[in-house]
Structure formats: structure tokens, C-alpha cells
Chains A and B, each alone.
Chain A
Amino acid sequence: MTTLSLHGLRKTYPGAGQAAVHGIDLTVESGSLTALLGPSGCGKTTTMKLIAGLLTPDAGEVRLDSAPITTLPPERRGVTMVFQNPLLFPHLTITQNIGFGLRMRGLSPDRIEDSVAAMLARVRLDGLGDRRPAALSGGQQQRVALARALVLQPKVLLLDEPLSNLDPSLRDEMRQLIRGLQQETGITTLVVTHDQAEAVALADRIALMLDGRLAQHGPPQDLYRRPASIAVARFFGGVNFLAGKSQRGIFHSPLGPLTLPTGAPEGERILTLRPEALHLGPGPNPRTAQVKAVTFLGTQNRIDLTVDGLLLQALTTPDLAAGMAPGTSLTVSLPPEALWLLPPDGTRGTGGPTGPVPPTLRA
């Protein structure tokens, strides 16, 4: 069991004006499955390559437990990376692909054969060992790539977008396989993904990266319900934001005073409420709203509302949305336990405190 930690990790590509990775501090707890989440180009893959030793950082350190590995070559780190593409070796059979790392370590052919056979069974590819990679489907190739890394029992396993090249029908299967194998082996695992649903479904903890910086790190529920900034809230589908002032459990907003949950911080804040938490009906913190639009999204309906001229968005089941046509008036309520206060400089990450203001703040 190994804890992976990054300390002030920084990397700028030669010729690039901006740093790809902006001084990251992150601790991936021993035996955890952590998702490194972020939009394309936010520096996730660069961070992975820095951990794997395929890139050298400009500053900062990578440690396994307390031992720095920053200057070690990739093959001596005990860290194995699985790339976004399976990148199987086309000149080797599936068995030889999985046994590659063990062969490089100089293990005897007998021992390699045993480990590979066991691994093939665990990724449910028994009987395909003698095939060439080209004879396998994309999903099977991805499983071989995973097996090829896991057979080495690395201290830390890095997976770069392991599901993005798979058909949606295969994703769930692969996700369960990764989850199952990780729990079975307890290998400290970091998974890069740009898909928040995937991160939530797969990981124990999520490290959200925005613009080369770590925006928030914690359990998935935290990033949903207790985002650290507007940027984090928005990344997880947050749309409702209200500027105001918190005083003795009351938030003074353009919608009038709203009751806050106990222990809410005081002072100038931005209040956010997830669209699925906005209650369509009477309850605490009630307001009268007009329906502007109803959008069918499949499993959910999106309702655009105006309250005192401010836009709010709600997500609800199609059943509940059935009777609502644009122009109808109804009572909505803002449950105090669902209200979350962001720091006033919460726009950091979307362009600084003077960056774009969330739409609902522009009354």
C-alpha cells in the first residue's frame, strides 16, 4: 500500500506561453481510487506523465510514501501508466503483451506464464492468449492493456481515460472491471477522465483540475454539494448562483432573506443551489415563480423559471413537469439544507474575481 503525493508540481512545455501544470499539491491516499477530473487541455495527462516519469517537471516533487521518485527513470518508479489508446505491441501475442513487463524484469518463463494465465482469466480473456492484438476488439484490447499493467502489481497505477475509446455499451462493463480489480488488489490508482459522471461512478475521491490547477479534492458528494468555487459548481452542472450577504443564519439576497443551514459562514458570499434541489412546491424559503420554458432531457426535465426577474433552473422528473407550461405561476422553495455558500472570490478559475459573472447574478 502506497500513498502517492505531488508537491508543487509544475510543468511548462517548451515554446508554450502558459504552464500546463501550475503547481499541483495532491495526496492520493493509499489504496484509494482517485479520479483526476477536468476538461480537455487542463493538464491531466501532463500530470500523469509527470508521475509516470515520462516527462520531467520544471519544479516540484513526486513522492511514494515519503520517498521522492522525481529523478528516477520511469522503469524504476513502481508506477505503471495505461494510456488512453491500448497501444498493445502489434508484433507480440496477447500472452506476450501481458508478460512484457515481467520479461523485462528477467522473470523465468514459467513464472511469467503462470502470472499471465491468471491475469488473462481475471480480465475474462481466457483462450485469446495466442491471438495478435489486431484480432481483438477495442474493448478487449483495453482489457489487455489493463492486464499488462496490473500483472506487474505496481505501487501506483495510472489510467488515462480508460473508457473514452469504448462504445457506451462497453463502458459500464469496463468501469466495473476496473473498480473490481482495484478493490481486489488495493493498488493506489489514479484515473484521468474528463467525464464527471464517470468520475463519480468510478472513484472514491475526485481531484478536479481546472486550467492547470487543482480546484478541489474530496469525495464525489463534496464536489457536488459543497463546491469550493463557482468554477467547480459549474463543472458539476451548477447553474443557480445568487450574490448576497450571510448574517446570523440568514442570506440577504435579491430574492429577499433566505434561511441558511446552521453553521453557514458569515459575510459577503455567493449562494448556490443545485437545480435538482430546487423544490417545485411549497416548503421552507418559498417564492413565487413563473415558468419560462420546459425542456425534455430524457430521464429528467429542465424547467427554466424566473423569480423576481432572476433566472433559476430546476431539474425534475417528467411526471412532475407534466402540468407546467410556459407562463404558469407556481410556488417553489429553496430547502435550507441544499443551500451552499461560496466565497465571494469564487469566480477564480473562470477568469479571476473580475471574470464573467454567473447569469443569475445579472438580475
Chain B
Amino acid sequence: MTDRTRLVLLLAPALLVLGGLFLTGLGLTLLRSFRYVPALGMTEPDLSAYTAILTAPGFLKSLVLSLWIASVSTLIAAVLALATALLLRQTFPGRAVISFLVQLNLTIPHIVGAIGILYLLSQSGSFARLAHAAGLIATPAEFPVLTQDPYAIGIILLYVWKELPFITLILLANMQTLGEDHESVARSLGATRWQAVRHVLLPLLMPALLAASALVFAFAFGAYEVPLVLGAHAPKVLPVLAWQASTDSDLTTRPEAMAMAVVIALIGFALLALYARLVGKDSPRAP
């Protein structure tokens, strides 16, 4: 067996999954978004599904909301993850416990977390009732609106809670690889502990932090299940619009769902490409 054949054979399973599932799915999505669905008698491809969703009232609001949720939750999660990773790098009593708690959420599905937040933070939730019982508020309705609210606080909270350990773990692994020698050098060259972190460790960690944040942003921008549970009635994030259109009993809305999916993917891709360009310019190379 030549090396070439062996390589093809080894790659075959991955290629089958990628080609068979992903590319076929992408192709079908594209075809349907152009209103080409022979099974439904649509055989004349056009762009009307795209014009319909892009000119629909509220598209812009939904786009803004999606961007708001994805960027705010990514930013908060990244900052907190950095602080957590710096903290967990130290040795202190209780470190193992905190480390365990931080990693625990990785195993909890998003949807379960979302329902948990709803139970805890909605106006009929546990915290509202506790606050009422404690006499802090007169009625549970006075509890601040944290779920299904216009600023998507509930959604952002959930994403921060869920993505923080993900970014933290990536940072910790990265710190382990980097070791402490660069910081020791900085200290020996006269940097205080904080200066060594600020001028040496942070720049060295930046590529990992940026890459992890990009993943988190892409996920938060494209996921529908958490906004479906915790989101307000209007506006809805783009992925929820796509999901609703694709599960509508009216089959003629399918092309619009597909067009929406394509638009979300394109926006997400464009944002990440722009981001990679912006930060790639002077990002440090690995030592």
C-alpha cells in the first residue's frame, strides 16, 4: 500500500462525515434558500427568500440583538476567565474546590442551564419569591426583569456562566505550556509581579484568549436554544427566527428559514474573518 492510499484510507471516515453530512447539508440549504425545492413544485430558483427576510420589519433589531448578546457575553466571559485562570494558577487553600466548581458547568447542557436560570431569576422564580418572603420587595412582580427582558440579561448571564470555564481551561492549558520562565526573566529584569503579568504573561496568552473568544462568539451568535427559552417575545435573535421559520407548519416558509441560516453563517464568518485580520496583524508568534 502506498503512503498516498494509506492517507486516503485514514482520512476517509472524516471526509465521509464532512462531505456526506456537512457539505451535502450546506448544499441543500443553499438550494432551498434559493427557493429550489422540486418536491414542493418550486423549480425556478430566485432570491425572493433573501429579500423577504432582509426587508422584513425587525430584521435589523434582531441582528443588533444577536450581536449584542454574542459580543457582551463573550467580552464578560473572556475577562472573567482571564481573572479565574490567573487565580487558579496560584496555590491557595480551596483551590481544588474552586477548580472543580469552575469545570463542573462544562458538563451541563446549555438548555438545562437556561431552564435553571428561568427557575431562579424570572419574576416568578425562586429569587423573586425569596426576596418577597424576606420583605425586600412588595410583590414578586417588583423583582427586576432578568429573563425574557429587552437587554437579554438572562441569556448573557447563561452564556457567561457556561463559556467562562471553557475559556478558563484553554488559558490554564496555555499557561502550563508557557511555563513561568518568561515571567521569572521579567521579574529579574526589574518587573514587579503585576508588571510581569501585564507586559509578559498577558501578551503571551493573547492568541489563546482571542481564539477561545472567537469560538465562544461564533457559538453565541449562531445558537437558538438559549434565546428560545430565555429571550423576550420581540425582538428575537436571528437563529430563533430561523428556527421558527423552519418548524412552521407552512412549508413555504422553509426557503426563508434556509436563507436566514445562510445569512447568519455569512455574518458570523465575515465577523470572524474581520476579527482575525484585526488581531492577526501584530499577534505574537509562539516562542
The total of chain B residues at the interface (CB under 8 A) is 22
Quote the shortest CB–CB distance from A24 to chain B (angstroms): 20
Which residues from 233 to 287 on chain B have a C-beta closer than 8 Å to any C-beta of chain A? 284-287
Between-chain CB contacts (< 8 Å), 30 pairs: A53-B187, A53-B188, A74-B184, A75-B187, A75-B188, A75-B189, A75-B190, A75-B195, A80-B188, A81-B184, A81-B188, A83-B184, A87-B182, A87-B185, A89-B185, A89-B203, A90-B204, A90-B284, A90-B287, A91-B206, A91-B284, A100-B199, A101-B190, A103-B199, A104-B191, A104-B195, A105-B190, A134-B287, A148-B189, A149-B189
Which residues from 90 to 107 on chain B have a C-beta closer than 8 Å to any C-beta of chain A? none
A104/B188 in contact, CB under 8 A: no
In terms of DSSP, what is the predominant structure of the interface of chain B?
helix
A85 surroundings in chain B (CB, below 8 A): 181
- Does chain A have a CB within 8 A of B200? yes
A74 surroundings in chain B (CB, below 8 A): 184, 187-188
By a beta-carbon cutoff of 8 Å, the part of chain A in contact with chain B is 52-54, 73-75, 79-81, 83, 85, 87-91, 100-101, 103-105, 132-134, 148-149, 152
A75 surroundings in chain B (CB, below 8 A): 187-192, 195
- Does chain A have a CB within 8 A of B61? no
Per CB-CB distance, the 4 closest pairs between chain A and chain B, nearest first, are A91-B284, A101-B189, A74-B187, A91-B203
Interface-central residue, A73, A100, A103, by most chain B CB under 10 Å: A100
- Does chain A have a CB within 8 A of B111? no
Cα separation A83 to B189 with both chains bound (whole Å) = 11
B187 surroundings in chain A (CB, below 8 A): 53-54, 73-75
Cα separation A149 to B190 with both chains bound (whole Å) = 10
Which residues from 145 to 204 on chain B have a C-beta closer than 8 Å to any C-beta of chain A? 181-182, 184-193, 195, 199-200, 203-204
A91/B185 in contact, CB under 8 A: no
Quote the shortest CB–CB distance from A90 to chain B (angstroms): 5
B285/A134 in contact, CB under 8 A: yes
Quote the shortest CB–CB distance from A171 to chain B (angstroms): 22
Cβ-closest chain B residue relative to A149: B189
A87/B181 in contact, CB under 8 A: yes
Quote the shortest CB–CB distance from A328 to chain B (angstroms): 56
Quote the shortest CB–CB distance from B190 to chain A (angstroms): 5
Cβ-closest chain B residue relative to A49: B184
Cα separation A134 to B286 with both chains bound (whole Å) = 9
B184 surroundings in chain A (CB, below 8 A): 54, 74, 81, 83
Cβ-closest chain A residue relative to B193: A73
A103 surroundings in chain B (CB, below 8 A): 199
A100 surroundings in chain B (CB, below 8 A): 186, 189, 191, 199
B188/A79 in contact, CB under 8 A: yes
B191 surroundings in chain A (CB, below 8 A): 75, 100-101, 104
In the complex with contacts A83-B181, A85-B181, A134-B285, A152-B204 CB distance below 8 A: no
B189/A90 in contact, CB under 8 A: no
B203 surroundings in chain A (CB, below 8 A): 89, 91
B182 surroundings in chain A (CB, below 8 A): 87, 89
Cα separation A262 to B140 with both chains bound (whole Å) = 104
B181 surroundings in chain A (CB, below 8 A): 83, 85, 87
Cβ-closest chain B residue relative to A132: B285
Cα separation A83 to B183 with both chains bound (whole Å) = 12
Cβ-closest chain A residue relative to B182: A87
Cβ-closest chain A residue relative to B180: A54
Cα separation A83 to B182 with both chains bound (whole Å) = 10
B285 surroundings in chain A (CB, below 8 A): 90, 132, 134
Cβ-closest chain B residue relative to A100: B189
A81 surroundings in chain B (CB, below 8 A): 184-185, 188
Q: Out of B192, B199, B287, name the residue touching A73 (CB < 8 Å).
A: B192
Interface-central residue, B190, B192, B203, B204, by most chain A CB under 10 Å: B190
Cα separation A132 to B188 with both chains bound (whole Å) = 21
Interface-central residue, B188, B193, B206, B284, by most chain A CB under 10 Å: B188
Quote the shortest CB–CB distance from B198 to chain A (angstroms): 10
Cα separation A132 to B182 with both chains bound (whole Å) = 16
B193 surroundings in chain A (CB, below 8 A): 73
Other A-B contacts than A89-B185, A90-B286, A104-B195, 17 sampled, CB-CB below 8 A, are A53-B188, A74-B187, A75-B190, A75-B191, A75-B192, A75-B195, A80-B188, A83-B185, A87-B185, A87-B287, A89-B186, A89-B204, A91-B204, A101-B189, A104-B191, A104-B192, A149-B189
Cα separation A87 to B189 with both chains bound (whole Å) = 12
A152 surroundings in chain B (CB, below 8 A): 189-190
Cα separation A132 to B284 with both chains bound (whole Å) = 9
Cα separation A81 to B186 with both chains bound (whole Å) = 10
Quote the shortest CB–CB distance from A73 to chain B (angstroms): 7
A105 surroundings in chain B (CB, below 8 A): 190
